[in-house]
Amino acid sequence: MDAIPSLAPAPLIDPFQRAISYLRVSVTDRCDFRCVYCMSENMTFLPKRDLLTLEELDRLCTAFIGLGVRKLRLTGGEPLVRRDLMTLIRSLGRQIKTGALEELTLTTNGSRLGIYAEELYAAGVRRLNVSIDTLDPDKFREVTRRGDLSVVLAGVDAALKAGLKIKINTVALRGVNEDEIASIAEWAHGKGMDLSLIETMPLGDIDGDRTDQYLPLSLVKARLGQRWTLNDIPYRTGGPARYVSVAETGGRIGFITPMTHNFCESCNRVRVTCTGTLYMCLGQEDAADLREPLRASANDDLLVEAIREAITRKPKGHDFIIDRRNAKPAVARHMSTTGG
């Protein structure tokens, strides 16, 4: 007797036999901060007509979920500045209840967590990444060019109270926050939060020289190792961080090192911008337009075909480099455009 063929579509497998199970979707390029390593101070944002609607974002995410994506992260810019975003989050949260999606998360600057924390938990979100680069209020305003640290910290407390697990993301910046990384870790671990440290990446023109910002995490880790007992652990969250446990604090620190040691060999991620452009690699310019096939038909056949074709072009890795001899960014687009 012949076996009954499975109705499930074939999963997304790239040319290097990596299964694509993690999708990061930017819902907006706009942000209420202008962080010095991310944006120019006077950014020109996309006209709203160019953005996918919330309904289109829902349909696009659902297509990826049908192709084997199990983890979905919403990013920006700052995702919570997108009007009516909770409508999309509640819709995607239903995919968790059915078992089609394992996790729905957000990366946020925390400025609006005080407003949305309880709604996020009710919609099915259980974990957030919150970007905080300094605990000094004056330095925080300087780095973000406009942020209020007290509002962000209140948002973190509101999220923890709502039951959300939080990981703090901190970009290591030479001469800016390198002397307080240990204190940020102590603060995070004291609240039961993990900390991920990130090397600055050469994406987009930021009105400055990234060589002045760049701080290799190999140096940061060595310094922390002189202070604490660091033990390498196999803990993973689906992202690129490599974690250590800190014996003295009982917490974890992750190191995301696109510059000093890339993490491409196990990459299971792709990114979609708020305009529907699919980037198979954060550090490469090759991309696929998903907006046209999304809008060309009421069914998803053309969309799925475009997604599958794009995955066949996913590269083995990125080519990031920061070099004083070449002032131009390795990739012209800003992180806020691609999605953090």
Show binding-site residues for GTP: 24, 73, 107, 167, 269-271
Sheet order of strands, 165-172 included: 230-232, 242-246, 252-256, 194-199, 165-172, 127-131, 103-108, 71-75, 22-26, 269-272, 277-279, 287-289
Return d(Cα 185, Cα 190) in angstroms, integer.
8
Residue ranges of the annotated binding site for S-adenosyl-L-methionine are 37, 77, 131, 201
Would you say 46 and 274 are in contact if contact means Cβ atoms under 8 Å apart? yes
Residue ranges of the annotated binding site are 24, 31, 35, 37-38, 73, 77, 107, 131, 167, 201, 264, 267, 269-271, 281
Nearest to 75 by CA among 106, 52, 51: 106
Partner residues linked to 73 by β-bridges: 24, 105
Number of H helices, E strands in the chain: 10, 12
- Angle, in degrees to the nearest 10, between helices 85-98 and 54-66: 20
Return d(Cα 129, Cα 166) in angstroms, integer.
6
Rounded to 10 degrees, the C-alpha dihedral 259/260/266/271 comes to: -10
Residue ranges of the annotated binding site for [4Fe-4S] cluster are 31, 35, 38, 264, 267, 281
3-state secondary structure 274-322: CCCEEECCCCCCCEEECHHHHHHCCCCHHHHHHHHHHHCCCCCCCCCCC
Q: Tally the residues of the chain.
A: 340
DSSP 267: -
Q: Using DSSP, state whether 182 is helix, strand or coil.
A: helix
Q: Using DSSP, state whether 47 is helix, strand or coil.
A: coil
